[in-house]
Amino acid sequence: MSTDDSNQNLRTFISYARADTEAANRLYNDLKLSGLDPWLDTESLLAGENWRIAIKDAVRNSRYFIPILSSNSIEKIGYVQRELKEALEVLLEFPPSKRFIIPVRLDNIEVNDEKLKEFHIVDLFPGWEQGIQKILKSMGIEGGKLAKTNEEASIYQYDEWNELLLDISEKNCIPYIGPEANIRWIPTNRKIAIKWAEEHEYPFQDGYELPQVAQFMAIKKSEPLYPKKYLSRILRSIHSPNFSAPEYENTIYTVLADLHLPIYVTTNYDHLMELVLIAKGKEPTSDFCRWNDELSRFPKPPYEPPSPAKPLVFHLLGDMDYPKSLVLTEQDYLEFVSNISNSDTNPTLLPSIVSSSIAKSSQLFIGFTLNDMNSRILFKCVAGFSSAVQPPYSVLIMPRPSPNCSEKNIAEATLFLKSYARSRFDSDIRWSDPFMFSIELRNSFNRLKQRSLK
């Protein structure tokens, strides 16, 4: 173990209990933005690695070790205790003047461990940013302030970004929520497809594509609703997190709920958005797109014009409580695209309040990617809805692509995707991890509100 303080070894191991995953992810991103090299199992373990050996090696080869202490970890036997024991052994190799273990607390838990009590503990409550600054200061990071790249900083200085914040404050923005927003709680389409392909002996090479696998199941069972009912049961059986808990404060769902908007559009079948809104004391109404003739006969919920207190959550690709509404199979997507393209001749596809709001509101897409055809179809459909009246601003938030190729090719890929989004969907792309974006969105919106009160 080297104790060199140069910037060549800034690896920082993050130890946490599974119940504190959200906080660990937030800490990981903050440290990464500061120029450190954080190590987090969900981000750093490679496929096929022996995770026990990898974690042990990561602890021993890290410059800093940060155990996250909370009521979820402090008194429980588990990997946090095992990793801490490993870190204490590594500490013996450090001279007394060098810092290695930097404990942090998520709540006002009493630390009884005699070894941990020897260290000054940083509190990440009630002020997270102040706690991060203390961590960075102890590492010698200049000013204890988070650093941003020029592009990341410019995102939040861009005039249209400020316009978007103003539109949000005036309730003139519609968030569009995609599948990447809920991957921590809901299985991805790819995972479901692979599982189903194995269960139903799918004979083709594209067994990771859910529409194709679902189509195969429907034909094999001679029952079009079979895969839809199957998926609905899976989604309804999933235990949803308690979004009112502090560790979920900066999930994208919680941040979007705190924007107090009247309409939320989701391409997800689940009800996570509704659950968060209810946890915030709101009374949301759920509705879904009537994208075929049979669905047009479904009664619509008797809702008032959407408001921040009684928002509408509109499920563009179907609602898990109504299996017939799910756009799931290959045939479903073809029919959906065909019918939605002719929405002018079939005004029952969308409630008038949704179609009129789409045309005049700024659009915030989060949880989507551009490397799959389903997302591209969605963006094109939304662009069609709003073609009559140009939206004030449309922005897609997505992580920077990281193909297995050279830096030059990565740069070319990002440039292509930006041009593609602008030319095809009239949208800007802002490269940001959804979790980090949700934090910045909350902070930016809060700063805007504070300025308006002065």
Render pLDDT for 327-369 as a digit per residue (tens, 0 to 9).
999 999 999 988 877 766 566 678 888 888 887 889 999 988 8
pLDDT at 346: 63
pLDDT at 23: 85
Asked if residue 2 has pLDDT above 50, the reply is no
Asked if residue 1 has pLDDT above 70, the reply is no
How do residues 139-151 score in pLDDT, each as one tens digit? 877 554 444 444 4
How do residues 147-176 score in pLDDT, each as one tens digit? 444 444 444 445 677 888 899 999 999 999
How do residues 311-321 score in pLDDT, each as one tens digit? 999 999 999 99
- Is the Cβ–Cβ distance between 434 and 251 less than 8 Å? no
- Is the Cβ–Cβ distance between 427 and 376 less than 8 Å? no
Backbone angles phi, psi at 400, to 5 degrees: -60, 135
pLDDT at 235: 96
Chain mean pLDDT for the chain = 83
pLDDT at 18: 82
Q: Which residue has the tokens 């930097």?
A: 102
Share of the chain above pLDDT 90, in %: 36
**Domains of the chain and any CATH numbers:** 11-147 (3.40.50.10140), 159-186+238-453 (3.40.50.1220)
What is the distance between the alpha carbons of residues 100 and 355, in angstroms, rounded to a whole number?
Answer: 56
Q: Which one is predicted more confidently, 418 or 253?
A: 253
pLDDT at 161: 77
* The pairing of beta strand 428-431 with beta strand 394-398: parallel
